[in-house]
Structures are given as C-alpha cells and as structure tokens.
Amino acid sequence: MPYTVDFKNVSTVGLESSPVADALAGLRANEARYYKNKYDHDFTVVAADEAPEVLDYVNNILSTERDLVISSKPLEVSSFEVEGLRMAYVFYESGLSINAMYGIDEGAKRAVGFKLSDGMEIPEELAASFKFARQKSKLAGTIRGSYFVIKGQY
C-alpha cells in the first residue's frame, strides 16, 4: 500500500524495525520535502516486497557499476519520474538510503547517491570505496552522503 511521506509530521511508518527509525524517517522526510519544494511532487513509498522491480533495478546498477551488494534488509522503495529524471529510492533497515538518478535524455546527469541516517555506522560494503560528506538537516539531523556517476545504460 503506497504511503505518501509527510515532511511536516515525520512518521516512522514502515521503518519501525530500523534501529535508527527516527533518523531514517527524518531522512525520508527530508527527501520528500526536497521533491515537493523543487518539483511539486508528492514522495510516496511502498514496502520493498511490493515493488521488487525497483529493488532489482537499483541492485543491478550497484552490482554492474561497482560490484556492490548491500547486506541490510530493504524496507521501502520509491520510483517516479520528474522533469526528465527517472528516480528510484531504497530505504534500508540499517538507516541507509540509496537513490538512483537517471536522466532520460542522452548526456543527462546519471548518478547513485548514498545517504546515511544520523547514528548509523558506514556500511562495511561502502566504507573502503566512498568518502562521506556531512550536511545538516532540520528533519534528519546530520546526514552523511556520497555518490558515484553511472556510466552504463539502464
């Protein structure tokens, strides 16, 4: 069942099993606020098992581009298009959020972003390959993020 993320009244709905559920909910709300303010898009999520094609899409990019496999359990996913960008999100039990931004037009921006919820450790599978920059968020506390550019076609 789709859940429209409310960034004014942050809720842990769907994220309760995470040890950093409050911070992950804030991170999810931070993303929802961004898309509402920039694109007037309502950010909705579904349980990961309700949309396995979204999880498969992100996992395929991670595996093909960087030989990465995320060990944490996926809790929720989101997939949508805004202004020529195909977006896919996965929110993991560990507090990790991964987004795949794929510009539809040739030569458009294409990247995978990683965001770590406040209070979580850097996942072992990412620690050796990525440096994480910090950003402050009223909704999510301190978010640590990193990314890589997608080179292939998906």
Average of per-residue pLDDT values in the chain? 95
pTM of the complete model: 0.95
Say what the pLDDT of residue 87 is: 98
Report the SS3 class of residue 92: strand
Q: Would you give the DSSP letter of residue 83?
A: T
138: phi then psi, degrees, rounded to nearest 5: -65, -30
Query: Could you report the per-residue pLDDT of 96-149, keeping only the tens digit for each?
Result: 999 999 999 988 999 999 999 999 999 999 999 999 999 888 888 889 999 999
Tokens, residue 123: 């996942």
pLDDT of 6 > 90? The answer is yes
Q: Count Cβ atoms below 10 Å from residue 57 Cβ, excluding itself.
A: 19
